[in-house]
A and B are shown apart, each in its own frame.
Chain A
């Protein structure tokens, strides 16, 4: 990538030129321009907005983040067999460039589409199959719906400027047992990254996606991500999302899932990284019988600031939702969890729960837990509970009385506390999460170094 092409990224004119340079289908340009219009009409969120009250972004100079636009890359080989069958397909991006893309050939034959978004949108690739057309159509419908209105300026900015992305499309009644994997990796040579994840599961389809946003140990990166999910009737989707960027970096992520009739969705958000992260996931239960779990694990240390939000929106009769977020805060970090259960007037017989537990590992670390209910009908079962506390001295004594030194016992108790949620993550990632937790507990942080 050539740095002399770096453009000011939040300037209206520059964004417009960026869109021009992309040579995307007309409908995508229209979505980007609609987002740009909204972007121009909005202001950055401030601490006056309830959701942003504890996460102040006023010190950010978003204009200072740039990248080389219109990075047209040769499409990588998409269809090919995945060795070892540990993944149904793998896509990796490094600094916005696709570095690896694979998809199990058998799944490709069944009409599964899994590849870079730019490749899907490029007519020149010459894929004229019916499945390809169906995937494009599904992506188009989803993004057009998403761009009707924008929650805030950061999201509008994302849809105007998204830099790279992936699409997972699973046709009707295709069940994929082995997970797909997507990684957005970032280095210091790229300041801003606006990745997009799109997953569409047609009626009765099943799939698991393991997604991670990672970076080098040093160098400042700004991520502005959106995740858009559509789970059609009787389909099931398991989405694992993992963030682990260095302590100079910033992550904004907004995820949204539409849940169809009798469909199931499990989201697991794992957040370890970044100086500042603001992650939000909305799940909309739009049809009868939807069933979702939103799980979250966070470990904040050093002087990290993490703000996580979930919204479980019940817009239809007889749907279930459970949110379970658990985390630990250490050193001088600050974690905020905001959770909302929203029940519309027509959503009777809703069954919704929300639990948030945070462990404070030392004085100086902070945690805020703000659960909320917005219920507009009778005949519902909704509840929330949140706890913020320190290690139980009686548990500590119990382990010590069996010969475990207090530091060993303490680590075991923190791991145990988080294990309850790690146990709900996809099998393939649990060990990695346990290792990360252990690393972060053991890491020494010297305040004077910062």
Chain B
């Protein structure tokens, strides 16, 4: 899967957050997207999967050459796109097992036979993610701790096997054990035809998921891209370095409100 983002602009409540994002992503690659809070990272991920609160004001997102911006969220999911949410919503009354069965059946396709051995596969993945089997009968995300929610996002990813996944700050708030489990989940899919955009504020997770490419986002744009060495520069110099290098002409902009 190829994802090409050209001059993407988007706003929420009339305020422009994305101010012309250009990015190219492919299955088989792992990209890291870094940047200070408010730079538009979460907005970018939500716009790609079709969050209704954001308004696209310009540009395009092409998946294998086809613009997906007019598609419904479920149509984008069926192309093989997946977002691990930064803040997954709670869905009372809908059990993890029931929800995932339905989602996996739909992902398998209408005409094809229903997923065989679903429960066996689910149990195996839950073991792999060190999620208690009792969660199958829990209501989706309801009463989950922050770490349990993040692991549940990765479990969904493992079950749905997307071609390209975006992980929106999946690392934040996780202790080192949980972080390793989440990284394990991503690395498991990496063996196949799978790509990921790992959005993070810190380089910590990138020690466990080594990115092929690193992009820095600042004030609604991807301001620089490179290899793993960019992470080291950031680590050494902090985001002030970005601000000094790319922020001068933006000083008069209004401060973005969206988180990420």
Q: Which residues of A contact B (CB under 8 A)?
A: 392-395, 397-406, 408-409, 412-413, 415-420
A415 vs B94: C-alpha distance when bound (angstroms): 8
Given A395-B89, A408-B102: A402 touches B156 (CB 8 Å cut-off): yes
- Residue contact B106 to A404, C-beta cutoff 8 Å: yes
A-B contact pairs, 24 of them (CB 8 A): A392-B89, A398-B85, A399-B103, A400-B72, A400-B77, A401-B50, A401-B74, A401-B82, A402-B74, A402-B77, A402-B99, A402-B160, A403-B74, A404-B106, A405-B106, A409-B74, A412-B98, A412-B102, A413-B94, A415-B94, A416-B91, A416-B139, A417-B92, A419-B93
- Residue contact A400 to B91, C-beta cutoff 8 Å: no
Distance in angstroms from A167 CB to nearest chain B CB is: 37
Of A394, A401, A408, A416, the contact of B77 (CB 8 Å cutoff): A401
Please name all residues of chain B whose beta carbon is closer than 8 Å to the beta carbon of A394 when the two chains form the complex.
89
Distance in angstroms from B196 CB to nearest chain A CB is: 16
Residue of B nearest to A418 (CB): B93
Residue of A nearest to B106 (CB): A403
Please name all residues of chain A whose beta carbon is closer than 8 Å to the beta carbon of B238 when the two chains form the complex.
none
Please name all residues of chain B whose beta carbon is closer than 8 Å to the beta carbon of A392 when the two chains form the complex.
89
Within 8 A of A (CB), among B24-81: 49-52, 72-74, 76-78
Taking A401-B49, A404-B102 as known contacts, 13 extra A-B pairs with beta carbons closer than 8 A to each other, sorted by chain A number, are A395-B91, A398-B88, A401-B85, A402-B74, A402-B156, A402-B160, A403-B103, A403-B107, A403-B160, A404-B74, A412-B99, A413-B91, A416-B93
Within 8 A of A (CB), among B122-168: 139, 156, 160
A413 vs B78: C-alpha distance when bound (angstroms): 20
3 closest A-B pairs by CB? A416-B93, A419-B93, A416-B94
A263 vs B88: C-alpha distance when bound (angstroms): 42
Residue of A nearest to B81 (CB): A401
Given A398-B88, A403-B103, A403-B160: A420 touches B74 (CB 8 Å cut-off): no
Tell yes or no: B83 within 8 A of A by CB.
Answer: yes
Tell me if A's interface is mostly helix, strand, loop or mixed.
helix
Distance in angstroms from A64 CB to nearest chain B CB is: 43
Please name all residues of chain A whose beta carbon is closer than 8 Å to the beta carbon of B107 when the two chains form the complex.
403
A401 vs B91: C-alpha distance when bound (angstroms): 14
A415 vs B93: C-alpha distance when bound (angstroms): 7
Please name all residues of chain A whose beta carbon is closer than 8 Å to the beta carbon of B85 when the two chains form the complex.
398, 401
Please name all residues of chain B whose beta carbon is closer than 8 Å to the beta carbon of A404 when the two chains form the complex.
74, 102-103, 106
Please name all residues of chain A whose beta carbon is closer than 8 Å to the beta carbon of B77 when the two chains form the complex.
400-403
A53 vs B102: C-alpha distance when bound (angstroms): 44
Please name all residues of chain A whose beta carbon is closer than 8 Å to the beta carbon of B72 when the two chains form the complex.
400, 405-406
Please name all residues of chain B whose beta carbon is closer than 8 Å to the beta carbon of A408 when the two chains form the complex.
102, 106
Please name all residues of chain A whose beta carbon is closer than 8 Å to the beta carbon of B74 when the two chains form the complex.
400-406, 409
A248 vs B154: C-alpha distance when bound (angstroms): 51
- Residue contact B93 to A417, C-beta cutoff 8 Å: yes
Of B76, B78, B89, B98, the contact of A398 (CB 8 Å cutoff): B89
Distance in angstroms from A414 CB to nearest chain B CB is: 9
Distance in angstroms from A295 CB to nearest chain B CB is: 14
- Residue contact A401 to B93, C-beta cutoff 8 Å: no
A114 vs B44: C-alpha distance when bound (angstroms): 67
Please name all residues of chain B whose beta carbon is closer than 8 Å to the beta carbon of A418 when the two chains form the complex.
93
Please name all residues of chain A whose beta carbon is closer than 8 Å to the beta carbon of B83 when the two chains form the complex.
401
Select the residue from A395, A401, A409, A417 with max chain B CB neighbours within 10 A: A401
A346 vs B186: C-alpha distance when bound (angstroms): 63
Please name all residues of chain B whose beta carbon is closer than 8 Å to the beta carbon of A403 when the two chains form the complex.
74, 77-78, 103, 106-107, 160
Distance in angstroms from B140 CB to nearest chain A CB is: 8
Residue of A nearest to B94 (CB): A416
Of A397, A402, A406, A420, the contact of B51 (CB 8 Å cutoff): A397
A420 vs B91: C-alpha distance when bound (angstroms): 11
A418 vs B107: C-alpha distance when bound (angstroms): 26
A401 vs B92: C-alpha distance when bound (angstroms): 17
Distance in angstroms from A392 CB to nearest chain B CB is: 7
Please name all residues of chain B whose beta carbon is closer than 8 Å to the beta carbon of A419 when the two chains form the complex.
93-94
Residue of B nearest to A403 (CB): B77
Residue of B nearest to A405 (CB): B74
Distance in angstroms from B176 CB to nearest chain A CB is: 28
Of B52, B82, B94, B102, the contact of A397 (CB 8 Å cutoff): B52
Please name all residues of chain B whose beta carbon is closer than 8 Å to the beta carbon of A398 when the two chains form the complex.
85, 88-89, 91
